Amino acid sequence: MLKKVAVLGGGNGSHTMAADLALKGLEVRICEAPEFKESFAATLERQEITLVEAGSGEKTAKLALATTDFEQAIKGVDYIMMPIPATGHERFFRAIMPYLEDGQTIVSWPGNYASLYFARMLKEEGLKKDVTLAEGHTLPWGCRLEAPGRIKVFVDAWKLLLAALPSKETARVANDLKDYYPVAVASSVLETSLNNLNPIVHPVGTVLNAGAIDNRKEDFHLYRDGTTQSIARAIKAVFEEVSQIGEAVGVKMLEYPEETFWLKSTIMSHYFRAPEDINDTVANIRGPSSMKSRYITEDIPYGLVPVAGLAYSYGIDIPIIDATICLASAINGADYYGEGRSLGELGIAGLKREELDQILRKGS
Amino acid sequence: MLKKVAVLGGGNGSHTMAADLALKGLEVRICEAPEFKESFAATLERQEITLVEAGSGEKTAKLALATTDFEQAIKGVDYIMMPIPATGHERFFRAIMPYLEDGQTIVSWPGNYASLYFARMLKEEGLKKDVTLAEGHTLPWGCRLEAPGRIKVFVDAWKLLLAALPSKETARVANDLKDYYPVAVASSVLETSLNNLNPIVHPVGTVLNAGAIDNRKEDFHLYRDGTTQSIARAIKAVFEEVSQIGEAVGVKMLEYPEETFWLKSTIMSHYFRAPEDINDTVANIRGPSSMKSRYITEDIPYGLVPVAGLAYSYGIDIPIIDATICLASAINGADYYGEGRSLGELGIAGLKREELDQILRKGS
């Protein structure tokens, strides 16, 4: 059962999750890394967060604690939530590792292969804590910080895939979370990670709009302006490549009906919905404002690169994903294949299907 | 020596070349395919072409003949010029093949591997005519039909690579053409074809502007609007990949100084120049207006696909070129690798470097 929760991070997702769970009656602590203290000052000061939700107005959530002290944040909690960018995974997990307690569950939103990554970190440090690593396939909302300590939610997920590592713990975690989120059980943490739609939609959509993004900067809207017929076709091709990998590793992809690819409001899947009166909410999400946006710098190295690793491992051609990674690398003068999350870092390099299944099921 | 010339085709390039050579005192015939009679009607009717050149005003060129009869067009000429899109190569060459005469020289502008392609067609038909196949690395001008029979030239090449197949004929052809064009001798028809900048600049520039092109249609300007920093980087990467192939097959690439990639007016190389008073001419070239533009449908299958074939043959990685071909294929629902000009069609599949050199030198 969920009682005491620590939410890590100080961005859109973390503020939303902390406020939402506090408003739902839980004892919630939020913890940002000390190096980001400045942008987190309002929340530290107020010890509360204002949540603005379309349709249901404005509410302020009282927190049990807002801090930059990781030890204080996670001591005695049953759940540790990580609704943070994948670029922060290592930093935050390394910060809490020394203080982890038996029985705790750590959930990443979205996973981006975090459960496998954290399992390998624990193994490497020789930490034999009885913790469960879990993940959702996406963040439960589309949300943005409007001002320090004030966040706006504009779309809700109505189906959230959830899985734990080891997968035998999934049912228990899903049961704990079902009163708070619309969870649906996934077969493994590969199912949640492969179903994250950010890497499927964002990188190729951004690359094929490189000229427009360079020119428009702040005013660019990927969904409204950038998701033209050409881009929708390419996104569909990426989804089909990921689906082939899913099939090879025995993972079911979420339904992505044909028409969804052609609508600016559902291209991020029909599992998100906005209140009817603000139907163009998804389309009107702003950005990316540059080719160094998280749509590239997070979604490629932490999203598409592990996909490419699995493809290579299982002998599957992924020309459109490769194309996206290569062009983004050339544009940004980066080596995303080299920098990105490798199967080695996830502790699943060179495994046969049965060996992979065993790790997902048993956790090692 | 150049006396009687037939210019094939009825587009920008053909009209410009016919008018230019007629104004330079040659006896010029122009021949469009009968199926395009309608758009060629004004020229057929007038038997002359009006040429508008920035700086030097308007001139009208009297033609020896404007026709849609291929036999009449090429009978007795010493040079047959083909300033036509690569998509028309097969159609036009098949049309003139039965009437070719010993001693004639056929020049393609630009080559796009046409010399090798025509040599294979002649061989396949068992035609043992004593003709020379030759090509320039580009069309000598940037030009557009302003109205039927009236064309505007806005940039001139000041260096035109020229080669013949067999390459022992190059000196003779260059000597014939040097009074009319700024020819520079290339080592072989692979040097001219690999140095065509259209496939280097256009496809990747178009793909990375897919969203903008879908949205803007008629008003898009690749050089002015679309050649942002991201796109310039990708174009540079394509040039570097082609250069690697050039090195592998012993072909010298034109100088492409670093700064050229970053200027909207010289990205198509500093070998083109516009009169100083219309300095933004290149930047202001309109288009492409759709993803099915010749920037994709000609420059990929007839430009990048043979490059990819050579790369594969000589074990060279070309990730950015592959990326461009794959994304354009996904966007247009096409299979450009399959449709494009293969090394087999050029008669040079599976050759070792020495065998290739021999074909280029001796013609077979």
Using alpha carbons, list the distances in angstroms from residue A102 to A78, A131, A143, A279, A361: 9, 6, 32, 45, 20
pLDDT, tens digit (0-9, with 9 covering 90-100), for B78-94: 999 999 999 999 999 99
pLDDT, tens digit (0-9, with 9 covering 90-100), for A284-328: 888 999 999 999 999 999 999 999 999 999 999 999 999 999 999
- Is B215 an 8 Å CB contact of chain A? yes
- Is B233 an 8 Å CB contact of chain A? yes
Which residue has better confidence, A2 or B345? Answer: B345
Predicted complex: ipTM over 0.85: yes
pLDDT, tens digit (0-9, with 9 covering 90-100), for B180-226: 999 999 999 999 999 999 999 999 999 999 999 999 877 899 998 89
Structure token pair of residue A224: 């409204």
How many Cβ atoms from other residues are within 10 Å of residue A147's Cβ? 10
Chain-chain contact of B226 with A211 (C-beta, under 8 angstroms): yes
The answer to whether residue A45 scores a pLDDT higher than 90 is yes
Radius of gyration (Cα) for chain A, nearest Å? 19
Which residue has better confidence, A191 or B156? Answer: A191
Radius of gyration (Cα) for chain B, nearest Å? 19
- Which pLDDT belongs to residue B275? 65
Closest approach of A222 to chain B, Cα-based (Å): 9
Contact A321, A299 (CB under 8 A): no
pLDDT, tens digit (0-9, with 9 covering 90-100), for B317-359: 999 999 999 999 999 999 999 999 999 999 999 999 999 999 9
Of A211, A215, A320, the CB nearest to B327: A320
User: pLDDT averaged over chain A?
Assistant: 94
Alpha carbons B261 and B270: distance in angstroms, whole number: 10
Single-letter code of the amino acid located at A206: T
DSSP B36: G
- pLDDT tier, A278 (very low <50, low <70, confident <90, very high otherwise): low
Name which of B326, B329, B335, B337 to mutate to probe chain A: the one with the most chain A Cβ atoms within 10 A of its Cβ.
B326
pLDDT, tens digit (0-9, with 9 covering 90-100), for B91-130: 999 999 999 999 999 999 999 999 999 999 999 999 999 9
- Which pLDDT belongs to residue B195? 97
List the one residue out of A325, A302, A351, A307 whose CA is nearest residue A108: A302
Sign, CA torsion B192/B194/B196/B197: negative
- Is A292 an 8 Å CB contact of chain B? no
Query: What is the secondary structure of A146-211 as a DSSP string?
Result: EETTEEEEEEEES-EEEEEESGGGHHHHHHHHTTTS-EEE-SSHHHHHHT-SHHHHHHHHHHTTHH
Contact B55, B277 (CB under 8 A): yes
- Is A333 an 8 Å CB contact of chain B? yes
Residue of B nearest to A208 (CA): B208
pLDDT, tens digit (0-9, with 9 covering 90-100), for B18-38: 999 999 999 999 999 999 999
- pLDDT tier, B284 (very low <50, low <70, confident <90, very high otherwise): confident
Contact A154, A281 (CB under 8 A): yes
Average pLDDT over residues A114-119: 98
- Is A51 an 8 Å CB contact of chain B? no
Report the alpha-carbon angle B57-B58-B64, nearest 5: 140
Chain-chain contact of A210 with B231 (C-beta, under 8 angstroms): yes
The answer to whether residue B276 scores a pLDDT higher than 60 is no
The answer to whether residue A281 scores a pLDDT higher than 80 is no
Contact A197, A22 (CB under 8 A): no
Using alpha carbons, list the distances in angstroms from residue B348 to A118, B274, B299, B353: 53, 38, 20, 10
Structure token pair of residue A130: 């009885």
Residues in chain A within 8 Å Cβ distance of B333: 233
The answer to whether residue B280 scores a pLDDT higher than 80 is no
Structure token pair of residue A106: 């750590």
Chain-chain contact of A237 with B319 (C-beta, under 8 angstroms): no
- Is B209 an 8 Å CB contact of chain A? yes
- Is B200 an 8 Å CB contact of chain A? no
- Is B230 an 8 Å CB contact of chain A? yes
Q: Beta strand A150-157 with A160-165: parallel, antiparallel or unpaired?
A: unpaired
- Is A200 an 8 Å CB contact of chain B? no
- Which pLDDT belongs to residue A319? 98
Alpha carbons B163 and B360: distance in angstroms, whole number: 10
- Is A290 an 8 Å CB contact of chain B? no
Alpha carbons A92 and A111: distance in angstroms, whole number: 14
Structure token pair of residue A248: 């090879």
List the one residue out of A132, A260, A116 whose CA is nearest residue A189: A116
Burial label for B97, CB within 10 Å (0-12, 13-18, 19+), is middle
Q: B144 in the Ramachandran plot: left (φ > 0), alpha (ψ -120 to 50) or beta?
A: beta
Residues in chain A within 8 Å Cβ distance of B233: 330-331, 333
- Domain B4-190 belongs to what architecture? 3-Layer(aba) Sandwich (3.40)
Alpha carbons A85 and B278: distance in angstroms, whole number: 49
- Which pLDDT belongs to residue B266? 81
- Give B 126-165 residues with CB within 8 A of chain A: none
Residues in chain B within 8 Å Cβ distance of A319: 322, 326
- Is B293 an 8 Å CB contact of chain A? no
* Segments in A181-314 forming alpha helices (H): 189-194, 198-207, 210-216, 229-248, 294-297, 305-313
DSSP 3-state assignment of B242?
helix
Residues in chain A within 8 Å Cβ distance of B229: 214
Residues in chain A within 8 Å Cβ distance of B323: 322-324, 326-327
Fold classification of A198-362 (topology level) = N-(1-d-carboxylethyl)-l-norvaline Dehydrogenase; domain 2 (1.10.1040)
Q: What percent of chain B has pLDDT over 70?
A: 98
The answer to whether residue B161 scores a pLDDT higher than 90 is yes
Residue A157 pairs in a beta bridge with: A272
Closest approach of A317 to chain B, Cα-based (Å): 12
The answer to whether residue B142 scores a pLDDT higher than 90 is no
User: pLDDT averaged over chain B?
Assistant: 94
- Which pLDDT belongs to residue B264? 78
The structural domains of chain B, with segments of one domain joined by +, span 4-190, 198-362
Q: Spell out the CATH class of A4-193.
A: alpha beta
pLDDT, tens digit (0-9, with 9 covering 90-100), for A138-177: 999 988 899 999 999 988 898 999 999 999 999 999 999 9
- Block residue for tokens 């014939």: B176
How many Cβ atoms from other residues are within 10 Å of residue A362's Cβ? 11
- Block residue for tokens 């120049």: B273
- Which pLDDT belongs to residue B260? 86
- pLDDT tier, B156 (very low <50, low <70, confident <90, very high otherwise): confident
Of B211, B226, B228, the CB nearest to A208: B211
Q: B219 in the Ramachandran plot: left (φ > 0), alpha (ψ -120 to 50) or beta?
A: alpha
- pLDDT tier, A279 (very low <50, low <70, confident <90, very high otherwise): low
List the one residue out of A86, A55, A253, A226 whose CA is nearest residue A155: A55
Contacts of A203 (CB under 8 A, 6+ apart): A238, A295, A296, A299, A300, A303, A304, A324, A325, A328
pLDDT, tens digit (0-9, with 9 covering 90-100), for A240-249: 999 999 999 9
Alpha carbons A82 and A84: distance in angstroms, whole number: 5
- Which pLDDT belongs to residue B26? 97
Residue of B nearest to A229 (CA): B214
Average pLDDT over residues A209-218: 91
Of B210, B322, B323, the CB nearest to A231: B210
Of A207, A211, A237, the CB nearest to B228: A211
* Segments in B103-228 forming alpha helices (H): 114-125, 170-177, 189-194, 198-207, 210-216
Check whether the bond before B199 is cis (ω within 30° of 0).
Answer: no
